[in-house]
Amino acid sequence: MADPMKIRATSKDGVTEVKVLMSHEMETGQRKDAAGAVVPAWFITDVTAQHNGKTVMQAEFGTSVAKNPYLSFKFKGGAKGDKIVVSWVDNKGDKRTDEGAIA
């Protein structure tokens, strides 16, 4: 299982900004190891963010996203102390869900 995501969220003037740092190798399936064997593809495919149980952001990733992806987005609403939950799924079926609070 991957390391926990780092989630920072702040709200100002009715707009919440969320910044997420995900820990994932994000292999494209095109790189070769030292022995010349192809390293299998392993990457995040879907990311979802929820604010108090309501989906506020949904994205599809592919092989072109870098290792340990950083994601930033904004949405209207949110107040200090509200819960933000971010989840991802990768092409091998691994899943990760972490949560943070709006500061």
Task: Evaluate whether 9 touches 102 at the Cβ level (below 8 Å).
Answer: yes
- Position 67 scores a pLDDT of 97
- The answer to whether residue 76 sits within a structural domain is yes
Q: How many angstroms separate the CA atoms of 44 and 75, rounded?
A: 23
- The answer to whether residue 39 sits within a structural domain is yes
The number of folded domains in the chain is 1
- The answer to whether residue 13 sits within a structural domain is yes
For residue 41, is pLDDT > 80?
A: yes
Task: Evaluate whether 36 touches 53 at the Cβ level (below 8 Å).
Answer: no
- The answer to whether residue 1 sits within a structural domain is no
- The answer to whether residue 93 sits within a structural domain is yes
For residue 52, is pLDDT > 90?
A: yes
- Position 49 scores a pLDDT of 98
Average pLDDT for 65-91: 97
CATH code assigned at 89: 2.60.40.10
- Position 11 scores a pLDDT of 97
Identity of the residue numbered 11? S
- Position 1 scores a pLDDT of 60
- The answer to whether residue 26 sits within a structural domain is yes
Range of the domain at 26: 6-101
pLDDT classification of 33: cutoffs 50, 70, 90: very high
- In 14-94 the beta strands, taken as DSSP E runs, fall at 15-21, 44-51, 54-60, 70-76, 83-90
